[in-house]
């Protein structure tokens, strides 16, 4: 389960300061925001742009290019199901359909109660123990009905 801090300008500026000495600091800064606040607040973009002396458009362009950077907070749990070929070959389509049905959430969406975000991921590198998933950063392989049940129960807690 992810526990994030609420958006805070002072904290945001501290995170920027912690990384701005690096070469090419934008991705490390955005990762730090994503980790701390769970998403990249709209208000973050002008702060970063000013600190790095680049345009807001450039920051916005980067934020929106990468799948990892969220524009709003995810659910309490994030369940990523691998939808790539190796997992497809091992029955991943059925696993994904079952997860969608049971959670009542389509892949790419967050449950109405904010409980769980269901996301596709294209390969976790667990292709020899497929189908694979990741729940809040924890990897799970060889998903079958029994393992999926346990995983979904955990995601709904």
Partner 1 sequence: MSLRIFIPGDAGAVAVGADEVAAAFATVARERGVVLDIIRNGSRGLYWLEPMVEVETPAGRIAYGPTAPGDAPSLLDAVLGSGQHRLRQGRAEDIPWLKRQTRLTFARCGIADPRSLADYQRQGGGKGLERALLLGPPATIETVVQSGLRGRGGAGFPTGIKWRTVAQTSAPRKYVVCNADEGDSGTFADRMIMEGDPFVLIEGMAIAAFAVGATKGYIYIRSEYPHAVAAMNAACAAARRGGLLGRGIGGSSHDFDIEVRVGAGAYVCGEETSLLESLEGRRGVVRAKPPLPAHHGLFGKPTVINNVLSFASVPIILEQGAAFYWGFGAGKSRGTMPIQLAGNVKYGGLFETAFGITLGELVDDIGGGTFTGRSVRAVQVGGPLGAYFPRALFDTPFDYESFAARDGLIGHGGLVLFDDTVNMARQARFAMEFCAIESCGKCTPCRIGARRGVETIDRIIGDDNRAAHLDVLQDLCHTMKYGSLCALGGFTPYPVMSALTHFPEDFGAAPKRLQAAE
Q: Would you count residue 72 as binding partner 1 (CB under 8 A)?
A: no
Task: Sort strands 116-121 and 77-82 into parallel, antiparallel or unpaired.
Answer: parallel
Q: Contacting partner 1 (CB under 8 A), which of 5, 9, 68, 150?
A: 68
Q: Would you count residue 10 as binding partner 1 (CB under 8 A)?
A: no
Q: Residues 117-156: x/- map of binding to partner 1 (CB under 8 A)?
A: ----xxxxxxxxxx-x-x--x-xxxx--------------
66 contacts: CB under 8 Å, gap ≥ 6: 27, 30
For 56-96, strand residue ranges (E) read 77-82
HEC readout, 44-68: HHHHHHHHHCCCHHHHHHHHHHCCC
Q: How far apart are CA 142 and CA 132, in angstroms?
A: 6
Q: How far is the CB of 74 from partner 1 (least distance, A)?
A: 13
Q: Contacting partner 1 (CB under 8 A), which of 51, 84, 107, 111?
A: 84
Question: Which residues lie near partner 1 (CB under 8 A)?
Answer: 22-28, 30-31, 52, 58, 61-62, 65-69, 84-91, 121-130, 132, 134, 137, 139-142
């Amino acid at each position: 389960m992810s526990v994030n801090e609420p958006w805070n300008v002072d904290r945001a500026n501290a995170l920027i300061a912690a990384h701005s000495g690096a070469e090419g600091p934008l991705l490390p800064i955005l990762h730090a925001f994503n980790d701390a606040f769970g998403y990249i607040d709209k208000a973050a973009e002008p702060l970063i742009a000013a600190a790095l002396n680049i345009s807001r458009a450039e920051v916005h362009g980067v934020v929106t290019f990468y799948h990892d950077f969220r524009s709003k907070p995810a659910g309490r749990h994030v369940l990523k199901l691998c939808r790539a070929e190796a997992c497809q070959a091992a029955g991943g389509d059925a696993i994904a359909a079952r997860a969608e049905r049971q959670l009542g959430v389509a892949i790419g969406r967050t449950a109405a109660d904010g409980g769980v975000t269901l996301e596709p991921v294209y390969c976790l590198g667990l292709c020899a123990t497929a189908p694979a998933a990741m729940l809040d950063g924890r990897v799970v392989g060889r998903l079958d009905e029994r393992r999926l049940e346990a995983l979904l129960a955990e995601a709904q807690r």
